[in-house]
Structure 1
Amino acid sequence: MRKAWPKMMSVLLLSLMVFLAGCNFSGNTSSEPEKKDDGEKGTEETETPKESVLNLSLDNDIPDLNQVKTTDAISFGILNNVMEGLYRLDENNEPTPAMAESVQESEDGLTYTFTLKDGVKWSNGDPVTANDFKYSWLRAMHPDTSGSYAFIISDFVKGGAAFAAGEADAEAVGIEVKDDKTLVVTLEQPTPFFLGLTAFATYFPLNEKFVTEKGDDFALNQDSILYNGPYVISKYDQAAGVTLTKNPEYWDKDNVAIETVNMKVVKETSTALNLYEAGELDKVYLASADVNTYKDSEDFATETEFRTYFIQFNLGKAPFDNENIRKALQLAYDPSVLTSVILNNGSAPAYGLVPENMAGVDGKLYGELEGAQLKQDIELAKELWAKGVEELGGEVPQIELLTSDDTISKDSGTFLQSEFKKNLGVDVTLVTQPYSGRLDTMRAGDYQMVINRWGADYNDPMTFIELWENPSNPHFRGNWLNEEFNNLVIAAKSESDDQVRMDNLMKAEKILLEEDAVLGPLYYDGLSYLQKPHVKGIVTHPYGASPDLKWATIE
């Protein structure tokens, strides 16, 4: 395994979130009462100075702030600013000590001994201890409490997979608390990017006493979360947004400049743009129709993300249990038209699942290798559609495409609806739901096909491809299982030869896309935005969670 990762040592770093990956941020103009040095509210409410307030927006509702359960970019992005792991990604995407003061790595690369900083505290004043990490990591893997991200720990920590499967007890897991400040972690195999992994949300600590007291109410509102990051949540409404205020107990509070961050849910990009123009937003992401208007503005800039949008077919629902129907729809649209005409925001057409600019092998990017490639072929699509309909007895049931209810998702859905009608004569009904509602519908398996997305947790193709290797919720991944695919992913995880490992991942991607037609690639995410010139230091990581507001300032 050591040979499998060396060229990624400086870039294979994990961040929190999701970005994920595509969150926009706005806020309101209401002010928060100032706090005294002792953290209590003053007897008189006074306005926070304008230069200490940052107004941002979220492009959809907030699904779940339970760090063990959540899977989406919006929730990860918020958690990344109110929580902190042993390490945090810095402004240059490098892992830097956070809760940890130092770490010692064994010569064989299997054992990490973390020493926590002096004086790190929870927002209630309790000390953050090594046991808070052990408790949290075990909770994230335990079959009774785990979520979809259990693998991000269990795949790497010794004994984690057996524990997550209910086949071993906690004592068999390679997490040891030497004392309140010393945590010893033993891995299954050398993992040079492990320090970056500890910056990911699932690796954040949890205070066992607090979680136990809250029970089923844990993480349901701002008072049922205990914070150890730069900010705390002072207001929380799943559908409306959050207000963050500076955490007076944070170890590095002197380097956090912004006192208050308002993050309001604004699903329509046109509404967000109007708020920006009115001075009520400090940053706004642009719809394609607005890019040409603003591209020469001093406020204009672009971001790139390792995030792929795709159609996901549900093989558990007719007619998508038919391979020819899936393959016909894969080939019946042109992603380049979607990116250049509909989106026009810097996104690139996707012909595979893995973003082309991710790390490959031997100094090459993944896009320079021979990965999966799907290109529009209308004539073949028509042949496959006719064959699929014949196999279904000559009649196709009504087809629905599920999307989130934000502007970009709806525009993408309308584009596909038009392409399927024009090129195949197929009528597709669009079903739009709030972001969290779409996720719930997918988890329940109650969809035929859906516009889905995934943002990289770290800079390697594995972060995309392993999602379909025995997923914890098969409904969420289209109810597709393939033994050959699973074996290739498993082999890649333990392979020490870089080229062989990458070959296995590329073969797995081709099975997923070209052979079994589980997905239809749409685009690799690019974002155009406006940001007020006086706002500096908002960090967007190309993978993991964004934004990172610790270093933000207002001049």
Structure 2
Amino acid sequence: MKKRVLALGTAACLVIGALSGCAFTGGTGGTTTGDSSQSSGASESVSDKTTAPAAGDQVLSIYANAEIKTLVQWAASDSQSSMVNNNAFEGLLRLDEKNEAQPALAKSYDVSDDKLTYTFHLRDGLQWSDGTPLTASDFVFSWLKQMSADATNGYSFIMTDYIVNGAEYNEGKVSAEEVGVKALDDKTFQVTIKAPTPYFARLTVLCQFFPLNEAYVTSKGDQYGLSADNMIYCGPYVITSYDPAVGATLKKNDKYWDAANVKIENTQVRVMKDASAALNAYLANELSQVALDSSNVAAYENNPEFKSESEFRTEYLQFSLSNPVMKNKNIRKAVSAAIDRDTLAKVILADGSSSSIGLVAEGMYGDGSKTFRELNGNLCPFNAEEAKKYWEEGCKELGETPKLTLLVRDDSVTKAVATYIQSELNKNLGIDITIDTKTVQARNELMDNDNYMFASTAWGADYDDAMTYLDLWTNGTPYRGSYQNENYNKLINDARVETDDAKRLNMLLQAEKLLVDEDVIVAPLYHRGSATLTKSNVKGLVNHPFGPDVEFKYAYFE
């Protein structure tokens, strides 16, 4: 007998990697640049200075602080691409205004008594934006694509870790027919997983789980996703134009099953890497929400349009163990211990971010009475004296004083953080490091190709469980520092199948200590927060606390 599920989950299960620096508007227009001093002091509502445009002219315009790397689902891993795809596509479930997973393309699902088989029932009359019927086979094709060797986004594990024969299919050991994803008929999609996983259904809000039409994707070949004209959509919006360095424009998808509840007709995403330029665009009524950097928080914190929120996202330093310098543990320990994270969060950022004392973000679920972070404590304390000792011992072991190069993204916040790290290492270790600033795509390529020493990167939680962070370091990829530790992998693999909650939690606590404190594979820096201004005429705009935090579907203009 099967257990009937109608509400499709109540806990928040949020989507990959949060978008940093986004904004929204009730108007149109190009980018305005200028001196950030234009923004000084305003405590009155900025929205009141300009009459809102007529309803037919209103455009929800948000900005991304880095390129929209790709819209190809099995290649996209950056938060900007995920944010755009999340609004142009949809999965079996979708997050609502309260960050809870609700019925989306699936109207309901069943779970077998052994909790290993999920049967999703699709809505009647689902269509792609070109009018083609959307069926259960579209999920089979998409999920197999994500589990195959074709997937280049580093996200195959989000399925292969759970789905029967998913890993074997990825390795070419079994056929597609042997994988635990089946279309029982056009409206019934069935998934078989390896072990009971309470949050499995809620994972389907992630972009990697969105459907794809096999005939259409195949017909476009390697041109699929390179332009808006080479894609079809199943979400609240369709993409009408796309340029990775410029942005994307979207319009309401009339074929969407819930189109009647999508209020805003036109939206756009503009790539704006400079925070001052974005704020000036907001003040010019070209954007209706803007993320503030630390230099502007004090000037606007009493503004009625101001809001500060925390996110389940951790910025950290990733060390490459393939690099002969960073292979030395004492060098890694020296760098981590030399950084005063409290000053970084409270003075340099001053945007609602908090200093990081571990990899797993503050507030994430622990044992029901304490959070995971509270249970595991401070795994990366600042200690300048100890840092100097580690550095001297590391240099002795290497037989030289090494030159360090830090690889970073080219957005203004990351560059400010890098400059702070540079000053901390100079002050506390007596060294001068080089900052290598690259576009997001170029930085990712360098990390993927194992061509870096250490780098600033980040991870936003996919779901409210420490596993969403900790299982990233089990595959030994260059991007994750080429880390390979049998004990670490055993802790994670055992936790995946452990049904005793207390035992499973203990395994994850041990794994984080091993990763951060003992092996020092990463040096957590801060848990990101956001300080924003939002135009007073924009309502219903959802910024999820972690994941791609911009949800267009529920927004409207007052």
What range is the shorter-chain TM-score in? over 0.9
Give the corresponding residue for 1:165. 171
Q: Cα deviation per residue 1:272-303 (whole Å; 9 max; x = unaligned)?
A: 11111111111100010100100000110112
Query: Which of 528, 531, 554 pairs up with 2:531?
Result: 528
Q: Is the 8 A contact 1:82 1:229 kept in 2?
A: yes
Q: Is the 8 A contact 2:474 2:483 kept in 1?
A: no
Q: Cα deviation per residue 1:295-316 (whole Å; 9 max; x = unaligned)?
A: 0001101122100001111111
SS of residue paired to 1:542? coil
Query: Which of 256, 262, 265 pairs up with 2:262?
Result: 256
Structure 1 residues 287 and 219: CA distance shift in structure 2, 3 A: same
Q: Is the 8 A contact 1:25 1:264 kept in 2?
A: no
SS of residue paired to 1:457? coil
Give the corresponding residue for 2:515. 512
**TM-score after normalising by structure 2:** 0.92
- Per the TM alignment, residue 359 of structure 1 is displaced from its structure 2 partner at its CA by 0.3
Query: Which of 166, 171, 184 pairs up with 1:178?
Result: 184
Give the corresponding residue for 1:453. 458
Q: Is the 8 A contact 2:184 2:190 kept in 1?
A: yes
Q: Cα deviation per residue 1:205-234 (whole Å; 9 max; x = unaligned)?
A: 000011111111111111122110000111
Give the corresponding residue for 1:17. 16
Query: Which of 192, 204, 213 pairs up with 2:210?
Result: 204
Are 1:279 and 2:260 counterparts? no
The aligned amino acid for 1:542 is: P
Instruction: Report the number of matched residues.
Output: 529
- Per the TM alignment, residue 198 of structure 1 is displaced from its structure 2 partner at its CA by 1.1
Give the corresponding residue for 1:316. 322
**What pairs up with 1:140-539 in 2 under 5 angstroms?**
140-145=146-151, 147-371=153-377, 373-396=379-402, 398-471=403-476, 474-539=477-542
C-alpha distance in structure 2 between counterparts of 1:18 and 1:48, whole Å: 35
Q: Is the 8 A contact 2:69 2:81 kept in 1?
A: yes
Consecutive unaligned residues in structure 1, runs of 5 or more: 1-8, 32-46
The aligned amino acid for 2:554 is: W
Give the corresponding residue for 1:3. none
Q: Is the 8 A contact 1:26 1:262 kept in 2?
A: no
The aligned amino acid for 1:422 is: K
Give the corresponding residue for 1:549. 552
The aligned amino acid for 1:99 is: L
Give the corresponding residue for 2:543. 540
Q: Cα deviation per residue 1:219-255 (whole Å; 9 max; x = unaligned)?
A: 1111122110000111111001111111111111110
Q: Cα deviation per residue 1:114-154 (whole Å; 9 max; x = unaligned)?
A: 11111111111101000000000001101244541111111
C-alpha distance in structure 1 between counterparts of 2:456 and 2:84, whole Å: 23
Q: Is the 8 A contact 1:102 1:114 kept in 2?
A: yes
The aligned amino acid for 2:110 is: Q
Q: Is the 8 A contact 1:25 1:265 kept in 2?
A: no
Moved more, 518-527 or 107-116: 107-116
- Per the TM alignment, residue 30 of structure 1 is displaced from its structure 2 partner at its CA by 5.3
- Per the TM alignment, residue 22 of structure 1 is displaced from its structure 2 partner at its CA by 5.4
Structure 1 residues 52 and 17: CA distance shift in structure 2, 3 A: farther
- Per the TM alignment, residue 372 of structure 1 is displaced from its structure 2 partner at its CA by 5.4
The aligned amino acid for 1:465 is: L
SS of residue paired to 1:177? strand
Runs of 4+ in 1 over 6 A off after TM superposition: none
**What pairs up with 1:89-108 in 2 under 5 angstroms?**
89-108=95-114
SS of residue paired to 2:366? coil
- Per the TM alignment, residue 172 of structure 1 is displaced from its structure 2 partner at its CA by 1.4
Q: Cα deviation per residue 1:58-89 (whole Å; 9 max; x = unaligned)?
A: 11111121111211111111110000011111
C-alpha distance in structure 2 between counterparts of 1:490 and 1:515, whole Å: 19
The aligned amino acid for 1:62 is: I
SS of residue paired to 1:369? helix
C-alpha distance in structure 1 between counterparts of 2:9 and 2:103, whole Å: 15
SS of residue paired to 2:352? coil
C-alpha distance in structure 1 between counterparts of 2:450 and 2:550, whole Å: 31
Structure 1 residues 415 and 24: CA distance shift in structure 2, 3 A: farther
C-alpha distance in structure 2 between counterparts of 1:250 and 1:144, whole Å: 28
- Per the TM alignment, residue 20 of structure 1 is displaced from its structure 2 partner at its CA by 4.2
The aligned amino acid for 1:253 is: A
The aligned amino acid for 1:157 is: I
SS of residue paired to 1:297? coil
C-alpha distance in structure 2 between counterparts of 1:120 and 1:460, whole Å: 32
Q: Cα deviation per residue 1:473-513 (whole Å; 9 max; x = unaligned)?
A: x1111111111100000011111111111111111111111
Query: Which of 126, 129, 137 pairs up with 1:123?
Result: 129
Q: Is the 8 A contact 1:13 1:193 kept in 2?
A: no
C-alpha distance in structure 2 between counterparts of 1:214 and 1:361, whole Å: 48
Q: CA RMSD in A?
A: 1.8
- Per the TM alignment, residue 416 of structure 1 is displaced from its structure 2 partner at its CA by 0.3
Identity percentage of aligned residues? 43
The aligned amino acid for 2:18 is: F
- Per the TM alignment, residue 387 of structure 1 is displaced from its structure 2 partner at its CA by 0.9
Consecutive unaligned residues in structure 2, runs of 5 or more: 1-7, 31-52
Q: Is the 8 A contact 1:360 1:369 kept in 2?
A: yes
The aligned amino acid for 1:244 is: L
Q: Is the 8 A contact 1:23 1:73 kept in 2?
A: no
Q: Is the 8 A contact 2:351 2:530 kept in 1?
A: yes
The aligned amino acid for 1:507 is: Q
**TM-score after normalising by structure 1:** 0.92
Give the corresponding residue for 2:47. none
The aligned amino acid for 1:500 is: K
C-alpha distance in structure 2 between counterparts of 1:240 and 1:344, whole Å: 29
Q: Cα deviation per residue 1:327-355 (whole Å; 9 max; x = unaligned)?
A: 10110010000011100001000011001
C-alpha distance in structure 1 between counterparts of 2:235 and 2:304, whole Å: 32
Give the corresponding residue for 1:29. 28
